[in-house]
Chain A
Amino acid sequence: MLTYIARRLLWGIVVLILVSLIVFFTIRLLPGDPLLIYLADSDNLRSMSQEQLDGLRAQYGLDKPILLQYVSWIADILQGDLGRSIHYNENVATLMLERLPITLHLGLISMAISLPLGVIAGLIAALRRGSWIDNIVVVAAYIGTAVPVFLFGYILILIFGLKLEWLPIAGYTSPLDDFWLSTKKLIMPVFCMSLPGIAGMARQMRSSVLEVASQDFVRTAWSKGLTEKVVVFRHMLKNSLIPIVTIMGMSIGAIFGGSVLIENVFAIPGMGRLLVNSLFGQDYVMIQASTLITACIIVLSNLLVDISYGWFDPRIRYE
């Protein structure tokens, strides 16, 4: 197990380095002077004298070879210095520490809702295959994976925000400030964010239960005359939950991906909105930092999933 963890960690670090290279060099693809990364305004750039430009270039280290620039960027990040945002005129690390908890608040609640709901729906659908409840779950899961989250958000806003006026349609309040208002504001975004999760989870669970149900040990359990409760909970459930671990790992990525759209629909100041706003503000330092941090969180959580997989299923350790 220890060698397995060590090997996984090693590959995790390699992937993290690749992630940072992708982010760094994508930003360098930017057409025009690389000084744009720090200035965000090409008109300003054009009006500067050659000496001013050279001075700025030296200040940001852009006169050094590109690999050296990369190394010093990484060195800064490892010391917690993510640079300074032009658009927000604030330290990037400080900004992100404000925004990240909001996205995690929204995302973790959605995960906590979609996991049990998806598993239960998938399990019931598989156990009652062909029944009306199975049909409903299958159709709902199809729609849940195909509906654009922003459309779903707008429909919720239209019904519960604008027509019925039950819920506020935008914004975020910390639960520490006003728990009730915070919950009210989060209901629709959480619903939006958990919908694809529930649908994906239910589909995966349904097919994995169906697969487990056709295996020999389940047939043996039935033929021993065990009750449905015992067969399902003692024999089938644990085995059909293994693929769900993978889906759980993927849903960390789904949180950050979903937050980009959902936070823009409901005007929630989290990581996703930060990324989109910095794109429009041409704030490349911010874009660089927020994509890097997002990818790092996802790679690290996938690493945890991989390691826990090795724990659940010892065969995987010796691939």
Chain B
Amino acid sequence: MPEAAVTNGESSQAPYQRNEWELFCRVFFQKKIAVLALFIICLTFIVAIFAPWIAPYDPNAQDLSNSMQPPSRQHLLGTDRLGMDTFSRIVWGSRTALIVGFSTTLISAFIGTVLGLLAGYFGGIINTVIMRFMDALMGFPMIVLALLLAGVLGPGMQNIIIALTVASVPGYVRIMCSMTLSVKENDYILAQRSIGSSSARTLFLHILPNAVQPMIVMITSGLGGVILGESGLSFLGVGITPPDIAWGSMVADGFKYLKTNPILSLAPGLAILLIVLSFNILGDSLRDALDPKLRGVL
């Protein structure tokens, strides 16, 4: 553990870095559940990328003569009221989930990092303005804020990404701001400033690298939250619009046939659960493996 603490500074040498990486791998890969989560995420990626080859049918092709089929060899998960193949739709839906998840999370992490750095580093009025505004945004439950924005902007993938981004930025700003505040107090930052370094240099070379690890953890768990949020909006019918396929709206569409053909709702619902669960578990495992204080404790 003492070695691990040393590498947190900027003067990490090659042998330490290798130890750090090895330590990370050892803690991370000894947890079977973390490996499983990583596997599911990779699998979803592959499915999303190769959707046209994996899906046996066109996900939006209607075939009324084959509607409401139970699972069979032709239709792995059966078909819905319009004869659309459930399995193919779930395969294509993974694209939507990942695209919305990643664009939202990366954009909001970027905006959050910039605002949080500014608020934490410069303090004073800048901090007050940014942080009070974030407090106000956090006054809305995520789904209510996203609903408000999606309602005004209209449905569609791009608008959903904007709506969810606005709703997730405050979390990143908060963590980045408190991170910056705590790093700023270190003596090496004071030393840096006393030799006349510019603010930008201090921010980018010394404060930002410290924030990389908590950011990675937060982005990973944030992905789960955003995908859950998108599924909620799509479930309500204000989210993704055809021809894009959303798991959330598939669950909602299946409600009428819940008794006769529950798989229509349950299969896409389980897909959401599985991917969100995997991102949450991965996020927690990364936190445990990256934080020297938690290694071996949990």
Contact = CB atoms under 8 A, between A and B. Distances in A.
Interface string A1-25: 0000000000100110011011100
Interface string B268-286: 0110110011001100000
A18 B135 contact: yes
Contacts of B216: none
A303 to B, nearest CB: 10
Contacts of A222: none
B136 A279 contact: no
B266 A151 contact: yes
Contacts of A146: 224, 228, 273, 276-277, 280
B141 interface: yes
B153 A148 contact: no
A145 B133 CA distance: 27
B136 A147 contact: no
Given A143-B273, A148-B273, A18 B132 contact: yes
A142 B251 contact: no
B165 to A, nearest CB: 14
A295 B141 CA distance: 8
A291 interface: yes
A204 interface: no
B161 interface: no
A115 interface: no
Contact of B136 (A15, A151, A264): A15
A142 B281 contact: yes
Contacts of B151: 279, 287
Contacts of B258: 154, 157-158, 162
A254 interface: yes
A295 B248 CA distance: 25
Contact of B231 (A148, A256, A294): A148
Contacts of B269: 148, 150-151, 154-155
Given A18-B132, A22-B137, A142-B280, A257 B142 contact: yes
Contact of B153 (A29, A155, A261): A29
A117 interface: no
A148 B235 contact: yes
A18 B252 contact: no
Interface residues of A, number: 47
B143 A162 contact: no
Interface in A140-196: 142-143, 145-151, 154-155, 157-158, 162-163
A11 B210 CA distance: 30
A310 interface: no
Contacts of B228: 146, 148
Contacts of B259: 158, 162-163
Interface of B is mostly: helix
A298 B236 contact: no
Contacts of B149: 26
B133 A18 contact: yes
B140 A298 contact: yes
Contact of A147 (B143, B144, B238, B273): B273
B232 interface: yes
A276 B233 CA distance: 10
B82 interface: no
Given A14-B132, A254-B141, A23 B148 contact: yes
A95 B210 CA distance: 51
B132 A142 contact: no
B230 to A, nearest CB: 10
B179 interface: no
Contact of B235 (A26, A150, A253): A150
A261 B266 contact: no
A296 B136 CA distance: 9
Given A22-B137, A162-B259, A287-B151, A148 B144 contact: no
B29 interface: no
A154 B144 contact: no
Contact of A29 (B152, B231, B273): B152
25 contacts: A14-B132, A18-B135, A26-B148, A142-B281, A146-B277, A147-B273, A148-B248, A148-B276, A149-B232, A150-B248, A150-B252, A151-B266, A151-B272, A154-B266, A154-B269, A158-B258, A163-B259, A257-B141, A260-B141, A261-B236, A276-B147, A280-B237, A287-B151, A291-B144, A299-B136
> 6 closest A-B pairs (Cβ-Cβ)?
A257-B141, A151-B269, A18-B136, A146-B277, A295-B139, A279-B151
Interface of A: 11, 14-15, 18-19, 21-23, 26-27, 29-30, 142-143, 145-151, 154-155, 157-158, 162-163, 210, 253-254, 256-257, 260-261, 264, 275-276, 279-280, 287, 291, 294-296, 298-299, 302
